[in-house]
Amino acid sequence: MGENAEKDRLLGTLHSHLNAIHETFQIFDQAPASTLKKVSWDDAAKMGDQVSKQATIVGMLWTGKEPQATEVKESMESYFNVLVGFLLLSHGSTVGAGPTLSSFILQAVKKIVDCSYKLIKDAIVSLGTGKENESSIPQLVGAVWEACSALKKIPTTNVAAIGRVMTQVAVSMKDVLREMKELKPGSTDTTDENAESEAQDDDGFNEDDLGSDLSPEEMKVARSAIVVVSEALVLVKELMRSITGLLKLESRDDTGDFVDSLEKLLKHCQGIGTEIDELGASLYPPQEVAIMKGAVEKISSMVDDMEREIESLKGTSDAFIQACGGLKSSLAQLKSEIDCSGPSDLATRVQMLI
């Protein structure tokens, strides 16, 4: 059989294995029955180690003389047998997992499958091309190692998975808060023309041309918004502390309602994060009053929903109640500042832009 024909045959076998993998992947489209015995994530991760070893074997084929097509085929067969076993164990570990935890697992599994496919395909394509075309194989083996190693960093409980995403929301909020604090009031002193001239660079660019200077009324709104974001961060911290205290509830046999409540809390947390983003963007002049008012109303509503959900889980703490009250109070203050700022300054600025 000719060299190209042998490659085509191996590539055909690879695609057959890939089709089998895709069919196996379809089991992830449906959550496993709650009556099934949950597979420990440690067991799935250990099978991931076996996938890593298979990648090492493929890489070792290229450490000496170029391997024969039969050797590549045998390693491919073994590789995909282990990979299918890994997929099945990974799916078994999603018993009782909510959408967030399942998403972490699925993303990790997909990464390993993708890296594995690229490695095997490159090993086949490299046959007969000489040593100069083998340089990608060690890197692809390393990519599989890295993807398999990442399995050990996957959250293993719904609480941990949801807490990790809430942490990401908090990080985003901190970025918005930092940007808000960089807003500055416009100069009200007409004698500062020389200082403004000195602020220009050699190209005649003035940082004030960015339109980030706020009027006194707008600055009051911005300061109130800064307090809102600070209080929102406190609330997220207390929310994470509250759900962490509920971890023992996840070990029960009937966790469906519990997981649903956690997912709802995460959705509200993400919703608040989205509105914080909108609020931050609307502070730049001319300030967008309608968007700010909408954000205030939506955040306040989501805080109420959070309180009810935490109460249903019996996870309410004094610190959480206080955090909710602090955010609501800051929202009321912001709404008051927005109402007092009035539309006149906005109209003036729009006119100046025409």
CATH number of the domain enclosing 291: 1.20.1410.10
Same structural domain, 152 and 219: no
Same structural domain, 167 and 262: yes
Same structural domain, 178 and 138: no
Range of the domain at 290: 160-183+214-341
What's the pLDDT score for residue 346?
46
**For residue 120, is pLDDT > 90?**
yes
196 inside domain: no
Least confident of 114-123, 148-157, 313-322: 313-322
Same structural domain, 237 and 252: yes
Query: What share of the chain in percent tops pLDDT 70?
Result: 84
The 10s digit of each residue's pLDDT in 232-267 is: 999 999 999 999 888 777 766 556 788 999 999 999
Same structural domain, 18 and 140: yes
Q: Which of 109, 140, 156 is the last residue of a domain?
A: 156
What's the pLDDT score for residue 302?
97
**For residue 72, is pLDDT > 80?**
yes
245 inside domain: yes
Using the Cα atoms of residue 186, residue 288, residue 166 and residue 143 in order, give the sign of their dihedral: negative
Least confident of 29-38, 67-76, 127-136, 174-183: 127-136
Same structural domain, 272 and 150: no
Same structural domain, 169 and 258: yes
Same structural domain, 106 and 22: yes
24 inside domain: yes
198 inside domain: no
The 10s digit of each residue's pLDDT in 289-326 is: 999 999 999 999 999 999 999 998 887 889 999 999 99
Same structural domain, 2 and 89: yes
* Confidence band, pLDDT 50/70/90 cuts, at residue 200: very low
140 inside domain: yes
- How many independent structural domains does the chain possess? 2
209 inside domain: no
CA distance 147 to 141: 10
The 10s digit of each residue's pLDDT in 203-222 is: 443 444 444 688 988 999 99
Same structural domain, 140 and 263: no
Same structural domain, 148 and 223: no
238 inside domain: yes
277 inside domain: yes
CA distance 154 to 149: 10
Q: What is the CATH number of the domain that holds 34?
A: 1.20.1420.10
Same structural domain, 246 and 276: yes
**For residue 282, is pLDDT > 80?**
yes
pTM of the complete model:
0.83
**For residue 199, is pLDDT > 50?**
no
